[in-house]
Amino acid sequence: VRPQEDPERALRYVDTVLSIDPESVSDRLFRAVLRYDTGRTTEGLEDVDWVLDRQPEGVELARVRQLRDALEEKRSATRNPRP
């Protein structure tokens, strides 16, 4: 699955993977990015917060926080579009 070509299909794939292994940090982060790309910012924030709550070893939490900030910014822009 090439996410840049078909993010909806990639999102369905990652949802399936996470139904099998809901503790997969890398798949949660991948899904958060796909949710960003498809405008599902609230759901993307849920995935990012899940990772931040668990603070898994080997994950650059500063980068996860950057993704969280990007999701928040996009969500705000969607709620308050500029004229």
pLDDT tens string 17-74: 999 999 999 999 999 999 999 999 999 999 999 999 999 999 999 999 999 999 999 9
Distance in angstroms (rounded) separating the CA atoms of residues 15 and 63: 22
- Quote helix, strand, coil % in the chain, to nearest 5: 70, 0, 30
Q: What's the mean pLDDT in 8-14?
A: 94
> In angstroms, what CA-CA distances link 16 with 10, 21, 58, 77, 81?
10, 9, 24, 30, 33
Distance in angstroms (rounded) separating the CA atoms of residues 60 and 9: 27
Query: Does 1 have pLDDT greater than 70?
Result: no
- For residue 82, what pLDDT is reported? 65
